[in-house]
């Protein structure tokens, strides 16, 4: 291969590299930056050439880096940069991103250069964080099922005693107070059951299922809350709607999540419509609300794990992820339509039980 051809081949390789490549001379000035690096940091080539490499580092790291660089040049060796420390790059627009950098000294005609290979690890960091959160939630599940049991037993005793007294006392104010105790204990029990349903990992059991029962059961759970928020319910069940082939617990989970989201979207009240009908050889379940809706740019993200617009601590962003997982597993499909300010409709199709 001729030297000229050879050279242009290497140039092409450098330009095509999916990692950022940066060549720095012994004084720390940038002499080459490949297109990937320019894209990572948001610069044009001409803006970087000749600049000290520190422009690419966040302010606090710049002075330290200068000292390190001078030391490194005394005895340059191939090694990863910043052993054990988290490294960040500084973009032209002032934003920072996590990076991993490998350093390789190059000797060319008596001069020393350093080739830095820069990998943007934003995505990897995000996945690591996601994994940590998933693990935490799995632990939470185990914890919840243990707690549900521990709490469930005394709750039943309290409930039993309160009901016992309720039957015997005649004074109205005491009766009222006891009624409050009963209602509140029942609420705790429902919440614990929900937690249990989330935590339980028993084998899925599909059988012919009348979704009407699932709907009634799930709506019952929220009756009190919906009444309090001024939410009306409209149910429409087609008479000859066939059964679906599905797991009852999982279908409850689907409905609970959709209904909870709908309630949370209608803090000022509104209308919740739940419909069941046969459509295109499938069973179609619709859950529609007249709530605040979903912003156009959020629509593609709502099924993503941990996507939430709710305050920290309020939403996990897992509700719809679980819903979609269950529907996919059942060979069904889920679609969403939403108008900001007008409301949201989820449409689910599930296979008919043969
Ligand atoms: N009916 C709805 N109306 C308006 N926005 C909705 C509706 N359903 C879902 N969303 C939007 O989708 C996001 C994701 O919903 P998802 O159920 O997965 O998580 P979440 O409700 O935020 O948290 P969690 O389910 O753990 O309480 C919500 O934060 C909300 O922005
Ligand atoms: Mg939710």
The pLDDT of residue 344: 98
Q: Kindly give the distance from the C-alpha atom of residue 2 to the centroid of ligand 1, in angstroms, as a whole number.
A: 62
The pLDDT of residue 1: 47
CA atoms within 13 A on the CB side of 272: 27
Q: Atom 28, ligand 1: which residue's CA is nearest?
A: 308
Task: Give the pocket of ligand 1 (CB within 6 Å).
Answer: 257, 261-262, 265, 289, 291-294, 302, 307-310, 315-321, 344
Query: CATH assignment of 3-120?
Result: 3.30.450.20
Q: Kindly give the distance from the C-alpha atom of residue 57 to the centroid of ligand 1, in angstroms, as a whole number.
A: 38
Ligand in closest contact with the CA of 314: 1
Nearest alpha carbon to residue 271 among 236, 298, 314 = 236
Nearest alpha carbon to residue 116 among 152, 80, 150, 143 = 80
The pLDDT of residue 188: 79
Indicate the domain borders of the chain. Answer: 3-120, 122-201, 206-354
The pLDDT of residue 130: 79
Region 259-284 average pLDDT: 95
Q: Is the pLDDT of residue 253 over 70?
A: yes
Q: Is the pLDDT of residue 305 over 90?
A: no
Q: Kindly give the distance from the C-alpha atom of residue 220 to the centroid of ligand 2, in angstroms, as a whole number.
A: 18
Region 345-354 average pLDDT: 95
The pLDDT of residue 62: 93
Q: Atom 13, ligand 1: which residue's CA is nearest?
A: 308
The atom of ligand 1 lying closest to the CA of 314 is 27
100-144 tens-digit pLDDT: 999 999 998 889 999 999 999 999 988 888 788 777 777 777 777
Joined together, the tokens standing for residue 157 give 């005793």
Q: What is the mean pLDDT of the chain?
A: 89
The pLDDT of residue 87: 93
The pLDDT of residue 199: 64
Q: Is the pLDDT of residue 203 over 50?
A: yes
Characterize 321-340 residue by residue with b for buried, 16 or more Cβ atoms within 10 angstroms of its Cβ, and e for exposed: bbbbbbbeebebebeeebee
pTM across the whole model: 0.55
The atom of ligand 1 lying closest to the CA of 307 is 14
- CB-CB neighbours of 307 under 10 Å: 15
Q: Which residues pair with 88 in a beta bridge?
A: 98
Region 35-63 average pLDDT: 96
Region 296-324 average pLDDT: 84
Q: What is the distance between the alpha carbons of residues 57 and 81, in angstroms, rounded to a whole number?
A: 13
Q: What is the distance between the alpha carbons of residues 272 and 263, in angstroms, rounded to a whole number?
A: 8
To test the ligand 1 pocket, which listed residue (320, 340, 341) has its Cβ within 8 A of the most ligand atoms? 320
Q: Is the pLDDT of residue 3 over 90?
A: no
Ligand in closest contact with the CA of 292: 1
Q: Is the pLDDT of residue 201 over 60?
A: no
The pLDDT of residue 312: 64
Share of the chain above pLDDT 70, in %: 94
The atom of ligand 1 lying closest to the CA of 343 is 3
Does domain 206-354 sit in CATH 3.90.79.10?
no
């Amino acid at each position: 291969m001729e030297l000229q051809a050879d050279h242009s081949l290497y140039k092409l390789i450098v330009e095509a590299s999916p990692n950022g490549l940066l060549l720095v001379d012994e004084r720390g000035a940038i002499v080459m930056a490949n297109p990937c690096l320019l894209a990572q940091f948001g610069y044009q080539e001409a803006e970087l050439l000749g600049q000290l490499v520190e422009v690419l580092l966040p302010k606090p790291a710049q002075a330290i880096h200068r000292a390190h660089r001078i030391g490194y040049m005394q005895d340059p060796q191939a090694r990863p940069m910043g052993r054990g420390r988290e490294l960040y790059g500084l973009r032209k627009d002032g934003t920072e991103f996590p990076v991993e950098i490998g350093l390789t000294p190059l000797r060319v005609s008596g001069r020393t250069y350093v080739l830095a290979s820069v990998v943007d690890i934003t995505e990897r960091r995000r996945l690591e964080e996601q994994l940590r959160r998933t693990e935490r939630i799995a632990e939470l599940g185990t914890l919840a099922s243990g707690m549900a049991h521990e709490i469930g037993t005394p709750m039943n005793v309290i409930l039993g005693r309160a009901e016992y007294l309720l039957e015997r006392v005649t004074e109205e104010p005491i009766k009222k107070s006891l009624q409050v105790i009963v209602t509140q204990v029942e609420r705790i029990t429902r919440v614990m059951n929900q937690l249990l349903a989330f935590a339980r990992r028993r084998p899925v059991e599909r059988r012919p299922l009348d979704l009407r029962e699932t709907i009634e059961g799930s709506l019952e759970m929220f009756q009190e809350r919906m009444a309090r928020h001024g939410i009306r319910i409209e149910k429409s069940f087609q008479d000859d709607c066939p059964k679906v082939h599905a797991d009852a617990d999982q279908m409850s989970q689907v409905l609970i999540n959709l209904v909870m989201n709908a309630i949370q979207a209608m803090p000022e009240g509104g209308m919740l419509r739940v419909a069941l009908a046969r459509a295109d050889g499938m069973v179609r379940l619709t859950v529609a609300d007249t709530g605040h809706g979903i912003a156009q740019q959020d629509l593609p993200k709502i099924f993503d794990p941990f996507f939430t617009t709710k305050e920290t601590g309020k939403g996990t962003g897992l509700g719809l992820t679980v819903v979609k997982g269950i529907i996919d597993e059942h060979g069904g499909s889920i679609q969403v339509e939403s108008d900001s300010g007008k409301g949201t409709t989820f449409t689910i199709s599930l296979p008919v039980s043969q």
